[in-house]
Chain A
């Protein structure tokens, strides 16, 4: 057992537990109202939104998995950088419109907007279910992040004893989410980011010094991993995979319920726009985090017998913990581990809140208890947040970790299928509601089918165009089919004069702002 790391870890974890509960009193309001519990009253300013969205997008799984991919596979893992930088202009243009219309009409979820815009409970249900399905494995993956750092501190127990630290962390997470709602992850995100920035800045200065500079680090990487493999005349190979993976992920990201939640809790359009030029600061950190993968290679941690057992169990995911243990005194490694574990709590809390908002608003209120009061909604959402987290915990404890990873790959392919409904819907109502449902269905089936042909190990599908093979992200390949079917069926349904429902919104709603 690594006691110094463990003590630092427990101290920091206790600190955020306290912060999580105290958050209930922050900007005090009636937490028995869904708007307060689930969106913190839509009052977050620029700074809090920055921390909250940062906690949303740059999760524990990011800190573990991105360097792990760079560590194991090399340059392809760097796709996270173009991915996150393409997100911001897109969100800048599109998502203030979602904020405006939601603020005007009191929408809590993207599905609420869809319900109001298209007058279709079914389409809203489809969007809600897609969101919940895509988010659940994402929550489970956050737990993988906690699992790895707990193991790194020397917990080697098996069975219930081995799982105990994870269960404790989860009970804490569930309890403060229940009592404080979105306020808790927003406040904890501040602590998380301070820790992450301290660890990363220390890492990118100290470790290269130990290893003899960046030139040395890159010299230690096998040449075929440093760059993407150039395409041949028959196969575009990693070039098309890299570009489509980055673009598809960028388009999908803000459709995830937890990101929508972060956008809607902002206090004005300005806050969102300002954040789109401030959030790239995280992308810079992410790029540095990706370098940790190479530093781990250069430091030779994978050949160190001290870490062999962990690498055997966790594979490349152990690269970052091993590097921290290798390069820093034990107590500082503890700070790093705490940063990663807390980095799991923040998104896990927001994701569970966002999924329970979806369930409450678009399933419970729509189908199970129409006319539920805001207090009943809040009660249901709090209860659901527990169920969602329990599901994620059971997933990790009882199923092999690879299922969570495979489902999360599919999650990206699924969530992008809501893009025509949500994003195009913010600009025009031309696409017919039933056409959108069928386009979604086609996209889901095609995208899932493409990943199935890869035996769920990769979401890169080798598309054959004549003699040329163009490997690309299944999400991006299935999306045009989804949109194409929606367009064709819209023309048919319009010709048949099928009722298109009543639009609750008017065009001025999409520009509406707080004074």
Chain B
């Protein structure tokens, strides 16, 4: 894949976390809880980690 094409793919990937956290109705609920933490909280917490992985992958793929 060319560099430009790869970059385009990553821009698409980058948008995914935005969808994940901006669609509030998707996660504004209590269950399933994790270690006593309601879904609302650990769901957003998890997106931090996913976002970090996406940016790290972009970096290692020299995007």
Contact = CB atoms under 8 A, between A and B. Distances in A.
B30 A243 contact: no
Nearest to A219: B36
Interface in B12-42: 14-15, 17-18, 21-25, 28-30, 33, 35-38, 40-41
Given A78-B44, A227-B28, A242-B24, A218 B18 contact: no
A89 interface: yes
Contact of A82 (B14, B22, B25, B29): B22
Nearest to A217: B36
Given A214-B35, A227-B29, A243-B22, A81 B58 contact: no
Contacts of B17: 85-86, 89
A88 B58 CA distance: 12
Contacts of B24: 228, 239, 242-243
B1 interface: no
Contacts of B55: 88-89, 92, 273, 276-277, 280
Contact of B56 (A227, A242, A277): A277
B41 to A, nearest CB: 7
Nearest to A236: B24
**Dominant secondary structure at the B interface:** helix
B59 to A, nearest CB: 5
Nearest to A90: B14
A246 B22 CA distance: 8
A75 interface: yes
B48 A81 contact: yes
Given A247-B18, A274-B59, A89 B51 contact: yes
B36 A82 contact: no
Interface string A234-274: 00000100110011000000000000000000000010011
A239 B56 contact: no
B40 to A, nearest CB: 6
B52 to A, nearest CB: 4
A273 B54 CA distance: 12
A337 to B, nearest CB: 27
Contact of B48 (A90, A274, A284): A284
B32 to A, nearest CB: 13
A464 interface: no
Nearest to B52: A280
Contacts of B22: 82, 243, 246-247
B48 to A, nearest CB: 5
14 contacts: A78-B40, A86-B18, A214-B35, A214-B36, A215-B33, A217-B36, A218-B33, A227-B30, A228-B40, A273-B59, A277-B58, A280-B51, A284-B45, A287-B44
Given A82-B22, A226-B30, 7 more contacts: A82-B21, A213-B36, A214-B35, A214-B37, A218-B36, A270-B59, A277-B55
